[in-house]
Every structure is written in C-alpha cells, then in structure tokens.
Structure 1
Amino acid sequence: MPTSAESGRKGGQLAMHTPPIVSPQEWEAARNELLVKEKALTRAGDALAAERRRMPWMAVEKAYAFEGPQGKVSLIDLFEGRRQLIVYRAFFEPGVFGWPDHACRGCSMVADQVAHVAHLNARDTTLVFVSRAPQADIARLKARMGWEMPWFTLTDSFDADFGVDEWHGTNVFYRDGDRVFRTYFINNRGDEQMGSTWNYLDITPLGRQEVWEDSPEGYPQTPTYKWWNWHDSYVADAPPDEKWVEVSDAGEAAFQNQDPSTKP
C-alpha cells in the first residue's frame, strides 16, 4: 500500500498522498486534537446565530403576488399563518439550463437536501420555493423529483427587489400581524449549507427557540429536545410527549456524565 511519502504516477493518474496509518491510540489522540477546533467552530456558529437574531429588520412595504396550486396568493399568505417565512429562489423557467424537464442543477441539489418541512412548521416557520415557471410545470417537476416543499410562481418584481433575479438566494421574513419584515438574506456558498432543519432555523429571527440559545429577552424558548417529534405526529399547540421527555432527560443526564473532551 502506498504511504503518504510516495508519489508519482500509477496507471496514468497521479498517486494520492494519503495520511499516515497509525495505531488506534494515535488515531484517537489525533481525533481529540481536531475536536478542540471543531468545538470552537460550533461555538462560533452559535455566537454568529445569536448575532443574526439581533440584526435590524427591514419593513416590506410593497404588496407582492404569487401563483400557487389554488390560485393567486400574497406574501403574507405564504406564511401559512406562521410567524416566520424562508423563501428560496430556485431557477426553473424558460431560459434556464434543464428547462422544461429540470430546474437548474444547483437549485435542484438544494431541493434534494431539504429536510421534512414539518419540523420547521413545528417551530412556527414556513419554507417555500419560488420560481417563474407556471404551476403546471412546477407540479410536474415536483412529482418527477419527489419534492414536497411548497413551490410558488413569481409574478412581479419580488426576485429583483430581494436580490435573487440573477442568482439563487434565501430570504427570511417575519410576520407581525399584517406587517412583514425582511430579517436575513444568504446566497452564493451560504446556500450550500441549507437543507437541514437546524441550519434553516439558525438563519431565522427566532432561531431554534430552545433554552440554551442566546436570544433577546422575551423570545420564545422551550426545553431542548422536548419539542422534537416524528414528522407525521406533530399536533399544533400540543404539549411535549411525556414518554419522549423521559427518554430525552435520560439522554441528557448520560451526556452530562461523559468526558468533557468528547462533547461537541
């Protein structure tokens, strides 16, 4: 087997300079050394999300219209009664590479990574995709690709007004009654991390809404883990399942007894 010191060509290809082969003890030591940096990165991400929750908001004054499966809807309608809205601008329309059989390859990769939206909904958050393709084409594409997120048709200047007319991007909005505010925006490589329930919640103004988070006073927060559920079992305003509370409490207790160097 080639070592990390060996180089040259084999079979017409460059040989890989692989890491050294070590004992289990040396591997564990190397892993723990890297874990220190990984934990620092996690804490930095938490701090950044806390700062994001304190960003100023921008009022959305213009009325925007979209086409959905049931007809014309407003921006407020996209919230589906929830307080938070995440809007991903996907490119699926005439002129986009792949049309009419496929959406943009990059946007399609983003769509393939989206977790079940029920978990976001349980945190008072709605995720939608928007494109300029007609609803019939969007329905056909979703059925072909197995995508289930709500997907609406752009009908006005929404994409140009929110920085997503020429390139993909994710906008975040908050609804206070009939007033809507833009709270965050991410695009380019920032969109690469999207798809996970956690990453989506981390870019919202309310965050994950768990007690460990550093959030402004008065923000909604519930005990960590306790709100989790199977995606087909969430019930609006239902208290946490007693059995799951018992299980998660036991898990937390066991975790607290671990070696601190192994905790994330």
Structure 2
Amino acid sequence: MDAPPIVSAPEWAAAHQALLVKEKELTRAHDALAASRRRMPWLAVDKPYEFDGPDGKVNLLGLFGGRRQLVVYRAFLGPDVHGWPDHGCRGCSMVADHIGNLAHLNARDTTLVFVSRAPQRDIERVKARMGWQMPWYTLTDSFDADFGVDEWHGTNAFIHDGPQVFRTYFINNRGDEALGTTWSFLDMTALGRQETWEDSPAGYPQSAPYEWWDWHDEYGRHEPSRWFGEPDPNDPNDQRPARED
C-alpha cells in the first residue's frame, strides 16, 4: 500500500482547507443541479397503472398516500432474481438497507415506495427477514418498462395536481448510489427541500431551513424548536447559527 505522506498538524490542517475549497464547490454544484431539476418539464402520466399492496389494489395516484409528491424505487425481488426466495437482488437490498425513517420525507409532503414483481406475501416475508419498513408494492403491468426500470433498478419522481400525475425526474445506475437520505430524495423532487435558501421557481412552497425538522415520532404534535432556522438579525439574543453554504 503506497500511503500518503505523514505530516504535522498544521500541514494537515492546510491540506484539509485546500480540499475543503473543492468540497464547497461540489456542494454548490449539487445545489445548482437540484435547482435545475426543479425546473425540469413535467410529463403527464395518462396511462392507468395498477399495483397490489398490503391493503389490496391501488393505482399510481394511490401510491402517493395523500401527499403531493412520490418517489418510486424499482427493486428487483422475485422468482427470476438471484437470491430468491430468501432475498432480493444484492444491490437493491443494499439500497433498501439505507432507507431511514420515512417520517422526515413525509413531513415534506413526499412519499417513498418500493415496487417489485414479487407477490405481496413474498414481499412481506422478505421485508420481515431483513427488517425493512418502507411501503412496498407489486407491479402488475408495464409500469417498469414504461419508466425505464424493467431491466435495471432506478428511481422515479412524480407529483400530482388533483387527479393528474406527472413524472418529474429519473435517476438510475450510479446515481442511485447517492440516494438514501431524506435530503437526497428531496433534492431529486420537483419541490426540493422546500426551504427558503433554495433557488426555486416563484410560488414553490418554502419555509425556513431546519425549522421543519423534528423527532420522527413528534411531527405535527407541537411547534418546531426555536433553535432551528435562520437567526433573527434584529434579536441580539438569538444565537442560532446561520445555514452554511
């Protein structure tokens, strides 16, 4: 192993600061990419799709669970997938292992679901074995082929306006590797994180950063902590940190 040089603490700090400049450039580039995603044209979804769920059949609008946005990950789990019947695809299973508590996404009016070809009884069996909690539906038609996920995994984002559903973005291949956190999923949606610092089209829903964050079992029960959000410049006692770029 050809290890890097061993340096003093000041030299290490200088090297870190030099690399931090590039990290900040990457962060700002990611923010700009997310802003461009929010300006992507929408594609109307007019074809009826049907899924089997734990409570019976549901259409695409039903997958939203009453929320404005929907993120759908196509996982390969079924009789024709390696690992069956005990497991799904290794890669898709690793993606599933990265999914945290969905209450935080739900707090931004966004639902995340997984879809596969396996019957519901088998999905529930594998979910129980692996400890997964996300909603998981069974594909019954051409949804996977129509949205580019019939031969490979991928993540589609949707939004609805009343009964009309629109496709807003799509990520697959190595792009899926960056997904898994609340922020990564929101950054691929049409509405984004819905925070005031974001570069979003006029009229998009936005609130102060951090203020919407809460414990996953407390959303909707009380006002968010005053500690979060941008500091009040007119209040000398407001010591909250400003959002960093």
Does TM, normalized by the shorter one, top 0.5? yes
Gaps of 5+ in 1: 1-15, 258-262
Cα 1:38–1:23 change in 2 (3 A) is same
Correspondence for 2:204 among 219, 225, 233:
219
Could you tell me how far apart the structure 1 residues matched to 2:159 and 2:69 are? Answer: 5
Could you tell me how far apart the structure 2 residues matched to 1:198 and 1:132 are? Answer: 28
Correspondence for 2:78 among 93, 96, 109:
93
Paired AA for residue 162 in structure 2 = G
Deviation at 1:240, TM superposition (A): 3.3
Task: Say whether the 8 Å CA contact 2:158–2:166 is kept in structure 1.
Answer: yes
Determine which structure has more spread, i.e. the larger CA radius of gyration: 1
Could you tell me how far apart the structure 2 residues matched to 1:178 and 1:185 are? Answer: 21
Structure 1 length-normalised TM: 0.87
Could you tell me how far apart the structure 1 residues matched to 2:74 and 2:241 are? Answer: 40
Deviation at 1:152, TM superposition (A): 0.2
Task: Say whether the 8 Å CA contact 2:230–2:242 is kept in structure 1.
Answer: no
Correspondence for 2:192 among 192, 207, 212:
207
Could you tell me how far apart the structure 2 residues matched to 1:254 and 1:27 are? Answer: 30
SS in 2 for 1:246: coil
Runs of 4+ off more than 6 Å: none
Deviation at 1:115, TM superposition (A): 1.7
Q: Deviations over 1:87-125 (max 9, x none)?
A: 000000111000110010000010001121110000000
Q: Deviations over 1:42-80 (max 9, x none)?
A: 000000100110000000010100000011111000000
SS in 2 for 1:153: strand
Could you tell me how far apart the structure 2 residues matched to 1:45 and 1:240 are? Answer: 31
Partner of 1:167: 152
Deviation at 1:226, TM superposition (A): 0.2
1:55-94 counterparts in 2 under 5 A? 55-94=40-79
Gaps of 5+ in 2: 232-237
Structure 2 length-normalised TM: 0.94
The number of residue pairs the alignment matches comes to: 240
Task: Say whether the 8 Å CA contact 2:210–2:228 is kept in structure 1.
Answer: no
Paired AA for residue 105 in structure 1 = R
Q: Specify which structure has the higher proportion of helix.
A: 1
Task: Say whether the 8 Å CA contact 2:209–2:230 is kept in structure 1.
Answer: no
Paired AA for residue 192 in structure 2 = G
Q: Deviations over 1:158-189 (max 9, x none)?
A: 00000000000000000110000000001000
Could you tell me how far apart the structure 2 residues matched to 1:239 and 1:232 are? Answer: 11
1:94-243 counterparts in 2 under 5 A? 94-235=79-220, 240-241=223-224
Partner of 1:21: 6
Could you tell me how far apart the structure 1 residues matched to 2:173 and 2:155 are? Answer: 10
Partner of 1:246: 227
Deviation at 1:134, TM superposition (A): 0.4
Could you tell me how far apart the structure 2 residues matched to 1:228 and 1:120 are? Answer: 10
SS in 2 for 1:173: strand
